[in-house]
Structure 1
Amino acid sequence: MIGPRYYFGVYHWRRRLRSIGVDAISIVVAAVVGARTQCRGRRFVAAAIATVAAVRTGRTLRRLGAPPPWSLERAKYDALASRLPFDRSDRVLDVGCGTGRSLVGLAPHVPDGVVVLGLDVFDDRIILGNGPRLARRNAARAGLAVEPIAADAATLPLETDSIDIATACRVFHDLPAESAAAALSELRRVCAPDATLGILELPLVSDGVEGDPDPEAYWSDRVLEAGFEIETLERLELSGRPEPYVVIVARPAADP
């Protein structure tokens, strides 16, 4: 039986296609120079340049499909979702939903009747096809009705104390440190007093951070500074992956 067919877009497509274009020009120029010169040394240099460019092109083409536009890696989302009380929630917010990969991953754990909001800036300069329509379509194929919201995580267009569960999957490490801190503070504002925050992160930290901090310590400190209390902090090892994930489950701290 064939399952639902998803398309999550091609990551970093502009940069990679630009690289392929530059290498293609290098190959053509090297071929022309090599064909027109009688100098053995110049032919050798031209052949070397063309070979290097061809190898680089092949590597970039492989990276265009990394991650594959249809893959999900469901285990990481199951690990996070199994720790979140979806059965006791009315409104769920997924920050940085993009084309819907995280929404599809969380979908099996979300009961019918729960309002799900998928927030993203929907910038297709990074992911080809990134937009509300694709996020909604992928989620619907997973059986999840989603209301996409085009907005910045640092300025959430939501009422205070209006969200029961907020998730952020592989989002904050892509943001500058100040933006990540602002987004976490905004999540604290919109989360209800008994809400739950679930974070799935790579073992990386935000841009602009000096030194080489431990990812678990770094992200736990950022969550605490935003006004949450951490319930779970663990490293998630998945077979076939060289890097683990960091899973954090937290609740709003009581006001002093």
Structure 2
Amino acid sequence: MLRPYFFGVYHWRERLGRIAAAGVLLAAAAVAYRRGGRTLRAVAAGVAAGSLYRGGDATRRLCSPAPWALDRSKYDALGSILSLDGADRVLDVGCGTGRSVVGLAPHLPDDATVIGLDPFDDRVILGNGPALARRNGTLARVDVAPVAGDAGRLPLADGSVDAVTACRVLHDVPEERRAAAFAELRRVCANDGVVGLLELPITPDGVDDHEVYWRGCLEDAGLTVERVATVPRPTREGTYVAIAATPA
């Protein structure tokens, strides 16, 4: 039987803390309701209702995105515009628990090796570590070689990979360090390689067109944008933008 993927639980500390706090308030409200008079019971009922709402909202958010869900369409959009047929060595920046590797797996050559680079910090994503990235890659039949590192200073030689992908990660890089991160994507990509970017509609203040913004980041790093695709976000407004670029 095929085991399910586990991509970790996002923002787990904050959300579990909110659930625990709601549980404490709910228990206190129940005690006050049983022991109090009419006024105290009314207050306790209001506190209980608020606690149930906050706890329920935190529980819903705890499973969003669902740890086992992939939402393959956005990765298919990126994979469809990349030329990965001859890519023997692929770098996935911000690999995390391997969600993007699994998403791109159908577009990778069978013998490709994916270097999964990430800080592997589990304070934000529960389970974020090399072992989980490797496990999920194995389930998707992809050879994943996890490497701990930072997008702004990639621990790879110049032109050492055939393709570089960065999926939903560079918007998290502080704006003052973002140009350096894009320059690193260009540096490690072979001259006949390709860089693939998948991004959210998140841009600096005052920038409305996220496609133009992310295209500009690639072009400023010395890359030529070849193809662009957009994909609606299933649960939120806006679109993902997928961009394929080659060294200029």
**Superposed pair shares fold, TM > 0.5:** yes
Q: Deviations over 1:96-116 (max 9, x none)?
A: 111111111111221132221
Tell me the distance in 2 between the aligned counterparts of 1:234 and 1:186: 23
Tell me the distance in 2 between the aligned counterparts of 1:98 and 1:221: 26
Q: Deviations over 1:33-76 (max 9, x none)?
A: 333332x2232122101111111111211111111111111122
Deviation at 1:32, TM superposition (A): 3.0
* Corresponding letter in the other structure for 1:216: E
Matches within 5 A, 1:56-135: 56-135=54-133
* Corresponding letter in the other structure for 1:177: E
Partner of 1:250 in structure 2? 245
Secondary structure of 1:223's partner? helix
TM-score (norm 2): 0.93
Deviation at 1:240, TM superposition (A): 6.8
Tell me the distance in 2 between the aligned counterparts of 1:219 and 1:56: 36
Instruction: Give the conservation status (yes or no) of the 8 Å contact 1:92–1:115.
Output: yes
Partner of 2:231 in structure 1? 236
Secondary structure of 2:117's partner? strand
Partner of 2:27 in structure 1? 28
Instruction: Give the conservation status (yes or no) of the 8 Å contact 1:100–1:136.
Output: yes
Partner of 2:208 in structure 1? 213
Partner of 2:158 in structure 1? 160
Partner of 1:12 in structure 2? 11
Instruction: Give the conservation status (yes or no) of the 8 Å contact 2:164–2:194.
Output: yes
Q: Which runs of 5+ in 1 are unaligned?
A: none
Partner of 2:148 in structure 1? 150
Tell me the distance in 2 between the aligned counterparts of 1:201 and 1:25: 39
**Paired residues, what number?**
248
TM-score (norm 1): 0.90
* Corresponding letter in the other structure for 1:84: L
Deviation at 1:167, TM superposition (A): 0.4
Secondary structure of 1:246's partner? strand
Give identity over the alignment, percent: 52
Tell me the distance in 1 between the aligned counterparts of 2:196 and 2:52: 43
Instruction: Give the conservation status (yes or no) of the 8 Å contact 1:170–1:201.
Output: yes
Tell me the distance in 2 between the aligned counterparts of 1:100 and 1:187: 19
Secondary structure of 1:166's partner? strand
Instruction: Give the conservation status (yes or no) of the 8 Å contact 1:99–1:134.
Output: yes
Structure 1 window deviating more from structure 2 (123-132 vs 167-176): it is 167-176
Tell me the distance in 1 between the aligned counterparts of 2:234 and 2:40: 48
Instruction: Give the conservation status (yes or no) of the 8 Å contact 1:91–1:114.
Output: yes
Tell me the distance in 2 between the aligned counterparts of 1:191 and 1:178: 22
Deviation at 1:3, TM superposition (A): 5.0
Tell me the distance in 1 between the aligned counterparts of 2:27 and 2:232: 45
